[in-house]
Amino acid sequence: MSSFDEMDAFEGASLSARAMAARPSPYLDDLNPAQRAAVERLDGPVLMLAGAGTGKTKALTARIVHLLMTGKARPNEILAVTFTNKAAREMKARVGRMLGQPAEGMPWLGTFHAICVKLLRRHAELAGLKSNFTILDTDDQLRLLKQLVQAAGIDDKRWPARMLAGIIDGWKNRALTPDRVPAADAGAYNRKGVDLYAQYQTRLRELNAVDFGDLLLHMVTIFQTHQDVLEQYQRWFRYVLVDEYQDTNVAQYMWLRLLAGAHRNICCVGDDDQSIYGWRGAEVGNILRFEKDFPGAHVVRLEQNYRSTPHILAAASNVIRGNEGRLGKELWTDAEGGEKVRLIGHWDGEEEARWIGEEIDAMQGGTRGMRSFHLDEIAILVRASHQMRAFEDRFLTIGLPYRVIGGPRFYERMEIRDAMAYFRLVVSPADDLAFERIVNTPKRGLGDKAQQTIQITARAHGVSLVEGARLALEQGLIKGKGGAALGQLVGDLARWGRMVEDADLSHMELAEIVLDESGYTAHWQNDKTPEAPGRLENLKELVKALEGFENLQGFLEHVSLIMDNESQDAERKVSIMTLHAAKGLEFPAVFLPGWEDGLFPSQRSMDESGLKGLEEERRLAYVGITRAEELCTISFAANRRVFGQWQNAMPSRFIDELPEDHVEVLTPPGLYGGGGMPAPGIESRAAEANVYNSPGWKRLQARQGQRGMSQPRESRNTVIDMEAVASFTIGERVFHQKFGYGAVIEIEGDKVEVAFDKAGTKKVVARFLSAKDDVPF
């Protein structure tokens, strides 16, 4: 499909630009001067630097409406990209609301991925694919990589599929095809990685499949190598809008530059202070460089905040000030008063959870001298998901309703993926990855050997696995119980495949038939584990979700990209989520627990990315604080159990960066309380004591000072690793967390053989050993 008339026709511009231009435009009056400037400057490059809570979505949607109202573009000539489906949905809804009619005619408002799928299906042949290519999920991707590694005869301990997937993703994020991976990356060690990457791409093409990264990568490659195609789209997309520009990776950046390169009508919205996805390839540099990339760019700053109290804004501003290389923004507000940001330290993580639980209880009743809060107005934002556990445990025991946002997504659950694999096979029998997934689920007595036979047969005849299985059965290569079951499966698949065409049968009925007759439903009915009922429930929900689609194919098409599931139960609940998941959300009251060095900022982040990592952590702190509208409570604990092992920690360095004037310290009894004997009446003393004057705090200050000189600190893990390998000598006394004391017998690379006093002789990884003198406590 290459004619744009066709495109025009089938995308159907249901909104008539001209008809709308006649109507008044109240949407502009709603905007403040900065927003208005960003909206009205339609032509040429515009960078909208929108701080947290400054109404950027409003401005962005107003801009789209303005483009339509002024007749500058028809709905289908606007390319508007977001990162999440949720953001896309929201924008669609808001455009519709502003226009006073549904915005169905905006086919190119969507996520990077969704839009690329659409484009790639049209030009699949240019990437060596057929237009009905499948999109692999992470699971399929890993299985494929594992096979490749094993087939290449490489030690899969040295090349775990997960790691390889990470490396390949990294390259794809930077728009690097195997032949373009720079020598620096491909050096001695990664030589094999590039090799495997190339093989992986070949294999994907054979399977007529792409992974997530490919969606962008293929389109960039096509645009770069097919000038005519690029030019078509450059003409077609007259205006380009990008949300969350600070989160774009190199591939997305190149894609945008290619598309907007000719007319340069590109408007990027973002906030360099909220760039928190560097670890998955996002480049803050993209937004920092915007004016260089698009000379003559108009930069608008949205700085008036409509969300938070002055205290909260002051706290956030003061923290983020510690970062270098910002474009610079200062949030301000008309609002006055409000509570100061509250800071509290606890003895340990459990106490922290207990305190927050009690606090929430009190807030509900309005017994904190403030207005009362509903549970759904309260959120707990954590750095790492394992922190959620303490809160879940606590809230369960006190019966406080909560909801975890994020977690494993609906479509990532095992049973859903299994069911989807069945559907995929019914629709396209050549889907080998789907076949591999379900041949032996439920158990059919087809183990490694039988599966290998199928693989070999299929490869020998150059056919799909299903076909290979059929041939292998014919030739009597698979016998017995397994053979019978396989015969049944192959027959069933063919039968179900024919039922797809059956007009009398809805695709929902078909889905149920497939799940029942394959024995998959029974498999979970017979399962006695506690999660089995939930899984059956999920399967029911999956079938229900089919209702919204014309047929199975249509469903499968969409599902691979729609990974979010908003559980929409109406009950008021406290939200628990990670800081990352909280971006873009806001809550009247926010708790930010776990502000301890090592946890937040995360040690790993600093180890891996040094100062850059620390700055990203700081932005995360900024994002966290700015989620709060009225009340923000930061807390830290002196002790925390990590891996079931107690560790103590210093309060986060970010706590030092909070402005004293805007912080109220709620003195806890205990370590940070007043440094001494808990005397009677500590409750009242606690009310006036001040962490800033406590010995614990001063100690902390002193430590911070020393550390400040050598920031960022040397990687703790690396040091231990290297010392561990280098320093152990045969005969040395060592300590292992689980096995206790022992003596080194032999050293082999990173593995050390130790004769433990009580646990016998074991070979363990050096990292889990410490020299006897180093033993903590």
Partner DNA sequence: GTGCACAAACTTTTT
Partner DNA sequence: GTTTGTGCAC
Which residues, at least 6 apart from 159, have a Cβ–Cβ distance to it below 8 Å? 149, 192, 193, 196
| Whole-number Å distance between alpha carbons of 477 and 471 | 9
Which residues, at least 6 apart from 675, have a Cβ–Cβ distance to it below 8 Å? 694, 695, 696
From 61, 82, 252, 274, active-site residue = 274
Identity of the residue, 214 or 339, whose beta carbon is nearer to DNA in the bound complex: 214
Q: Taking a C-beta distance cutoff of 8 angstroms, is the pair 39, 28 a contact?
A: yes
Identity of the residue, 121 or 143, whose beta carbon is nearer to DNA in the bound complex: 143
Does the active-site annotation cover 627? yes
Known binding residue 50? Answer is yes
Helix (H) or strand (E) holding 601: none
Identity of the residue, 547 or 750, whose beta carbon is nearer to DNA in the bound complex: 750
Exposure pattern of 483-508 as b/e (b: 16+ CB <10 Å)? Answer: bebbeebbebbeebeebeeeeeeebb
> At closest approach, how far in Å is the CB of 125 from DNA?
25
Quick one: tokens of 408?
């494993």
Residues that bind DNA (CB under 7 A): 83-85, 111, 113, 138, 156, 169, 212, 276, 279-280, 383-386, 406, 409, 440, 443-450, 482, 563-564, 578, 580-581, 602, 604-605, 608, 613, 643-644, 738, 762-765, 768
Does the active-site annotation cover 244? yes
Known binding residue 53? Answer is yes
Give the DSSP letter string of 734-776.
EEETTTEEEEEEEEETTEEEEEETTTEEEEEEGGGEEEGGG--
> At closest approach, how far in Å is the CB of 616 from DNA?
8
| Whole-number Å distance between alpha carbons of 54 and 306 | 6
Task: Report in angstroms the alpha-carbon separations of 480 from 436, 447, 465, 488, 765.
Answer: 20, 13, 20, 13, 44
Provide the 10 A C-beta neighbour count for residue 730: 11
From 57, 84, 147, 704, active-site residue = 57
Identity of the residue, 16 or 385, whose beta carbon is nearer to DNA in the bound complex: 385
Helix (H) or strand (E) holding 642: strand 628-642
The residues that bridge with 241 in the sheet, in sequence order, are 80, 267
From 627, 629, 630, 653, active-site residue = 627
> At closest approach, how far in Å is the CB of 564 from DNA?
6
Does the active-site annotation cover 56? yes
Known binding residue 57? Answer is yes
Known binding residue 397? Answer is no
From 244, 348, 616, 630, active-site residue = 244
> At closest approach, how far in Å is the CB of 183 from DNA?
26
Identity of the residue, 476 or 680, whose beta carbon is nearer to DNA in the bound complex: 476
Provide the 10 A C-beta neighbour count for residue 534: 13
> At closest approach, how far in Å is the CB of 154 from DNA?
13
For the chain, give percent helix, strand, coil, nearest 5: 50, 15, 35
Does the active-site annotation cover 350? no
Q: Taking a C-beta distance cutoff of 8 angstroms, is the pair 599, 426 a contact?
A: no
Task: Report in angstroms the alpha-carbon separations of 505 from 8, 180, 511, 659.
Answer: 34, 50, 10, 66
Identity of the residue, 374 or 449, whose beta carbon is nearer to DNA in the bound complex: 449
Which residues, at least 6 apart from 436, have a Cβ–Cβ distance to it below 8 Å? 143, 451, 465
Look at residue 640 and give its three-state secondary structure. Answer: strand
> At closest approach, how far in Å is the CB of 602 from DNA?
4
Does the active-site annotation cover 57? yes
| Whole-number Å distance between alpha carbons of 760 and 742 | 9
Is the N-terminal amide bond of 712 cis, ω within 30° of 0?
yes
Provide the 10 A C-beta neighbour count for residue 254: 20
Identity of the residue, 449 or 733, whose beta carbon is nearer to DNA in the bound complex: 449
Is the N-terminal amide bond of 102 cis, ω within 30° of 0?
no
> At closest approach, how far in Å is the CB of 159 from DNA?
12
- Using CA atoms in the order 571, 574, 576, 579, what is the torsion angle rounded to 10 degrees? 110
Give the DSSP letter string of 662-724.
GEEE-PPSSTTTTSS---TTHHHHHHH--GGGSHHHHHHHHHHHHHHHTPSPPPHHHHHHHHH
Residue indicated by tokens 């930077």 = 174
Nearest in space to 657 (alpha carbons), one of 196, 338, 319: 319
C-alpha Rg value of the chain to the nearest Å? 29
Residue indicated by tokens 């409509």 = 306
> At closest approach, how far in Å is the CB of 360 from DNA?
22
Known binding residue 55? Answer is yes
| Whole-number Å distance between alpha carbons of 485 and 491 | 10
> At closest approach, how far in Å is the CB of 247 from DNA?
9
Helix (H) or strand (E) holding 592: strand 587-592
From 243, 339, 359, 596, active-site residue = 243
- Bin 132: left if φ > 0, else alpha if -120 < ψ < 50, else beta: alpha
> At closest approach, how far in Å is the CB of 50 from DNA?
19
Provide the 10 A C-beta neighbour count for residue 721: 15
Q: Taking a C-beta distance cutoff of 8 angstroms, is the pair 278, 9 a contact?
A: no
> At closest approach, how far in Å is the CB of 546 from DNA?
22
Identity of the residue, 107 or 445, whose beta carbon is nearer to DNA in the bound complex: 445
Does the active-site annotation cover 234? no
> At closest approach, how far in Å is the CB of 509 from DNA?
30
Quick one: tokens of 84?
């999440």
Strand order across the 239-242 sheet? 109-111, 78-82, 239-242, 266-270, 46-50, 298-302
Q: What angle do CA 592, 633, 401 make, to 5 degrees?
A: 70
Instruction: Extract the annotated binding site for ATP.
Output: 50-57
Active site residues per annotation: 56-57, 243-244, 274, 627
Instruction: Extract the annotated binding site.
Output: 50-57
